[in-house]
Structure 1
């Protein structure tokens, strides 16, 4: 169920549960069918638990989205620089088959997060470690210092990805916890609302106080 639908359902349940607690006549009528104040307070406790876990789920997904945005933004920024370095390397090392292999600059670039990080790390680490490659790249303005700075950018992307995956896991866990709480609440509410319809079938105005609209016959 989407969050907006859950918001609406929680609001509906809150009206159905809290209004009888505040209305003595309604509470008395429902009490005759097993839903006294204690039972209503139990339902209210289930409702508050579900609301709390729903808010927690929203918070966790907000943190996941923030982490994803930071990671993808840094990756895009780094990739723009990386691709210039790769293009220059292909030009300056066009006759160096071994260098192409070492830097992994053949063919299309990897697009997945893990693939991009692995391939980019190989490029910068192997370039830094090879004096011959360094000498050639320096002709295009790609110095060892620049390579080290860009390697640090790739490593930052990797760190941000780790954070994003952590937040994603926490968001998924929060969803599972929320859904279990919501399921318990809905089981209670389903019985409650069915019995309320029977208990108050001769008092449609009472049903309206609970936010229940009787279907027209």
Structure 2
């Protein structure tokens, strides 16, 4: 009877909107459905469920957009810090290649860590030690790596941590919003399933009227 393709949430909302609106406004359909128990009060339940689902859907979209924006901001800062830290770390490795103790203190021994937390801790240690050790800072200056550069690195770390906190908060809110949306869709799908079954019974001899509810009828 209806297309077997799974509808998107937006398409589902539009189908239900059209179905309920035409069921309420088309006199013949309204009369038939009323006789089958779908009077004004029952139809009001469907309209209320549709309104609730629409609100949950819109709220979920807003939260998803905010999550995407916060992740983009976090990614931008991470890429910025990665760029300057990679170059500055290479400079420091050259300067302290014969001083393994200081190299370890700066966390520049060996390759760059790959996981986020190890990489971040490496950057924190590098900029933290450099900012508080004038002798290290003086030696770094040989390759044009000065106090201002170290301060910029530390500032970026703070911004990055704040951005990641914001992203994780938004992500959690988005996941909660998705659960609320899914619950709302589950309720209205159950209600509309019964509605369509009753409509098929009542409009069995009027396929055109059934199609006005958004349900395609096989010829």
TM-score (norm 1): 0.93
Partner of 2:50: 47
The runs of 5 or more residues in structure 2 that have no matched partner are 1-6
Q: Using the alignment, how far apart are the partners of 2:68 and 2:157 within structure 1? A: 20
Partner deviation per Cα, 1:60-92 (whole Å, 9 max, x = no partner): 110111111111111111211111110000000
2:181 pairs with 1:178 = yes
2:60 pairs with 1:57 = yes
Structure 1 residue 40, shift from structure 2 partner: 1.1
Q: Decide whether the 8 Å contact of 1:57 with 1:175 is kept in 2.
A: yes
Q: Decide whether the 8 Å contact of 1:78 with 1:150 is kept in 2.
A: yes
Q: 1:209 to 1:179 in 2, by over 3 A?
A: same
Q: How many residues align?
A: 214
Partner of 1:98: 101
Find the partner of 1:135 among 134, 138, 147: 138
Calculate the aligned-residue CA RMSD, in Å.
1.6
Structure 1 residue 130, shift from structure 2 partner: 2.2
Q: Using the alignment, how far apart are the partners of 1:117 and 1:146 within structure 2? A: 17
Q: Using the alignment, how far apart are the partners of 1:144 and 1:123 within structure 2? A: 13
Q: Decide whether the 8 Å contact of 1:67 with 1:160 is kept in 2.
A: yes
2:69 pairs with 1:69 = no
Q: Decide whether the 8 Å contact of 1:117 with 1:158 is kept in 2.
A: no
Map 1:110-189 to 2 at 5 A. 110-189=113-192
Structure 1 residue 25, shift from structure 2 partner: 1.6
TM-score (norm 2): 0.92
The runs of 5 or more residues in structure 1 that have no matched partner are none
